[in-house]
Amino acid sequence: MRAFTATAIAAVALIASPLAAQSVDRAEIARIIDEGFNHSQIMQTAQTLMDGIGPRLTNSPGMRRAEDWTMARYRDWGLKNVHKEGFEFGRGWWAERFSARMVSPRPIELTAMAITWTPGTPGRVSAPVIVAPITSVDHFARYKGKLAGKIVMVTLPDDGSEPGAAPFKRWSGEELAKFDTYEQPKYDPEAADRRIKRLDFATRLDAFLKAEGAVAYATMSSRDGKLLHGNGYLFGTGETQQVPGFEIAAEDYRRLARLAKVGPAPVVELESVVHFEDADTKAYNVFADIPGTDPSGAYVMAGAHLDSWTAGDGAADNGAGTAMVMEAARILQAMGVKPKRTIRFALWAGEEQGLLGSMAYVEQHIATRKPAAGAPSTGLARFYGWANRWPVTRQPGYGQLAAYFNLDNGSGKIRGINAENNLAAVPMLREWLSPFGSMGANTVAIRKVGGTDHVFFSAVGIPAFQFIQDPLDYGSRLHHTSIDTFDHLKPADMRQAAVILAAFLLQAANAEKPLPRGAFPTEPSVTDPFGYPDPSDLD
C-alpha cells in the first residue's frame, strides 16, 4: 500500500506540472483545514438532523422540518440566496405507531415495520397468516379465493445467511487502484422499457389483495439479523396502496413461515397507525449560495440528498452527505471567501424514489430531453426512462454550471473521486486532490458510478462527480436499515470529507478555466447485434 501511494503521488506530480498556476494556494487550504478540524460543527449538524428531526421521507413532516431547519442554518451562517424549489412529487406519509406480534401458538413480539405509503390498519387486528409467494401476476390464480381475512406473506423465505466478510472495512490501495479502469459504455435501448413494464406489479398485487379481501400483506427483510428497511415506492397521488403492508425481520418471517407449514398455524396481531399528508404534493430541493464575482453567472455546486427512508434516521444515507455539504458551506462562509464563480449548495429531495430532486433541477435549469411518449406516472419509471430519451436540449443555464460534486456514500472519509469517464477532467481533479494525500485521499479513478444525484447532470454532459469514500459498514448493514443512526457515523471521517469538499469547491470556483467537459451526449448507435436481453430484466 505504501508502494501504491508513492506511485500515485508521482503520477499526480507528473501530470499536474504542465497546468497553470494553482487556483487556490495552500495557505487557503490550510485555513479550510483549521476551520474544519479545529472549529468543526459537522457532528452537531448531523445530530440535530438525525436524532432531532429523524427520518426524512420525501414530503413527510420530517422532511418538511428538515427543509425549514437547513434553510434556517444556512441563513444563520450568512449564506445568500437561501431558498427551496418545488417539483411535483406526490403524497406525504409518516408512521405514528406500529406493532406486530404473534399471538398464537405462543406470544412473540415480532420485529416489523410498516412499508412506506401503505395504509394503516383499522385499529388492532388479528388474523391468521398464509404463505403465498407471489412475484408475478401469473401467481395470482394459484391463491385466488384463499386470501380473505388473512395476512398474506408474499416473500418466499430463504435459508439464512453465512456472512463471511467483515461488515466494517476501508479500501486498500490495491482496491482503489482497480477503480481506475475505463469500461466502455454498454447501450441496451430496451432495458429501461423492460424495467418500466415490471413496475406496475406492485399496483396489480395490491389490487389483487384488495379484491381477495386480504387483511394485510407482509414481506421478508432482505437482510438477516433483525434489520428492517420498509421501502415502498407507490407514493403518487391516486396510486398509493389500499392494503396495509409491513416488512418482517427475516428471523421472524421464517419462523412464521415454518409454523404455517408444519403447524400450529400462527395468528398475528397487527397495529399500524399512519398518516398521509396531501396539503402540498410538491417536494422541495433546498439551495444556498456563496455568491461569486464573475458577472457571467457561472457557478460550481455540491449536493447531497436530504431525504431518507424511514427505518432508521437517515444517517449514513444521507444525513452524512447532507452534513458534509452544510459543513463545507459553513467553513467557506466562516472564512469569508469571495470566489470567482458562485458556490451553490444543494440538498435534494426524492433521491430515494429515483433521483427525482436532482432530475427536476436538471430539467428546470440545465437541459431537457425529448418528452416521453406516455409520461410514466411513478418515480422509478421516470428514473429508468429519463436518460434513455434523445436528443438532449441545453437550457439557457447549461453553460453556467462548471462542476457538480456529490456525496452519498455514508460517513467514510474521502479516498478520491470518480472521474465518470471524463478523461479531460482528470488532470484538474488530480491537482485539486493533491493537497490531501496525507489524509488518505489519493485516487482519481476514471470509472463511472451510478445510483445517486450526479447521474443526471453527467447524463447531459455536465462535469459531475461522486467522491470515493471508505465503505465502513454502510453497504453491509446500514444502507436503508433500522440501524442507520447517528452513532454509526465516524466523526473524524466526516470532518475530513467536509474539508476536502470545501477545498474542491473553492478550487473549482476559482480555477482560471472551468473543468473540461466530455463530448456532448448524443444517442448511442452501437448496440450488441447478437445479444439477448438479460433474463433478470424480463417479466
Contact between 67 and a copy of itself by CB under 8 A: the answer reads: no
- Cα separation of 468 and 238, whole Å? 39
Binding residues for a copy of itself restricted to 451-480, rule: CB under 8 A: 472-473, 477
User: Around Cβ 39, how many Cβ atoms within 10 Å?
Assistant: 10
Pairing between strand 342-348 and 299-305?
A: parallel
Read off the C-alpha cell for 318: 444521507
Stretch that binds a copy of itself, among 93-101, 116-124, 140-148, 200-208 (CB under 8 A): 93-101
What is the number of residues in the chain? Answer: 539
Question: In terms of CB distance, is 107 or 374 closer to a copy of itself?
Answer: 107
Binding residues for a copy of itself restricted to 296-315, rule: CB under 8 A: 312-313
Partner residues linked to 302 by β-bridges? 345, 405
- Cα separation of 410 and 133, whole Å? 34
Question: In terms of CB distance, is 160 or 524 closer to a copy of itself?
Answer: 160
Question: In terms of CB distance, is 32 or 311 closer to a copy of itself?
Answer: 311
Stretch that binds a copy of itself, among 98-106, 399-407, 413-421, 522-530 (CB under 8 A): 98-106
Contact between 222 and a copy of itself by CB under 8 A: the answer reads: no
Contact between 96 and a copy of itself by CB under 8 A: the answer reads: yes
Pairing between strand 80-88 and 342-348?
A: unpaired
Smallest gap from residue 167 Cβ to a copy of itself (A): 5
Contact between 101 and a copy of itself by CB under 8 A: the answer reads: yes
Contact between 144 and a copy of itself by CB under 8 A: the answer reads: no
- Cα separation of 107 and 130, whole Å? 18
Sign of CA dihedral 499, 502, 504, 510: negative
| Binds a copy of itself (CB under 8 A): choice among 167, 173, 397, 521 | 167
Question: In terms of CB distance, is 55 or 350 closer to a copy of itself?
Answer: 55
- Cα separation of 250 and 228, whole Å? 9
- Cα separation of 124 and 98, whole Å? 10
Smallest gap from residue 368 Cβ to a copy of itself (A): 39
Question: In terms of CB distance, is 421 or 476 closer to a copy of itself?
Answer: 476
Fill in the per-residue mask, 403 to 442: x = in contact with a copy of itself (CB under 8 A), - = not in contact. ----------------------------------------
**Are residues 460 and 290 in contact, defined by beta-carbon separation less than 8 angstroms?**
no
Conformation bin of residue 293: beta by default, left when phi > 0, alpha when psi is -120 to 50: alpha
Conformation bin of residue 480: beta by default, left when phi > 0, alpha when psi is -120 to 50: left
In angstroms, the Cα distances linking 432 to 35, 155, 367, 417, 428 are 19, 48, 27, 10, 6
Contact between 255 and a copy of itself by CB under 8 A: the answer reads: yes
Contact between 268 and a copy of itself by CB under 8 A: the answer reads: no
The H helix count followed by the E strand count for the chain is: 15, 18
Question: In terms of CB distance, is 111 or 333 closer to a copy of itself?
Answer: 111
DSSP 379-408: HHHHHHHHTTSS-EEE-GGGGGEEEEEE--
| Binds a copy of itself (CB under 8 A): choice among 264, 391, 475, 524 | 264
Contact between 109 and a copy of itself by CB under 8 A: the answer reads: yes
Contact between 28 and a copy of itself by CB under 8 A: the answer reads: no
Non-local CB neighbours of 185 within 8 Å, separated by 6+ positions: 421, 448, 524
Smallest gap from residue 36 Cβ to a copy of itself (A): 21
Contact between 169 and a copy of itself by CB under 8 A: the answer reads: yes
| Binds a copy of itself (CB under 8 A): choice among 9, 15, 16, 108 | 108
| Binds a copy of itself (CB under 8 A): choice among 39, 75, 80, 97 | 97
> Could you tell me where the DSSP H helices lie in 246-319?
250-262
Name the residues that contact a copy of itself, by CB under 8 A.
47, 51-54, 62, 95-99, 101, 105-109, 111, 113, 159-169, 224-227, 250-251, 254-255, 258-259, 262, 264, 312-313, 472-473, 477, 482-483, 485-488
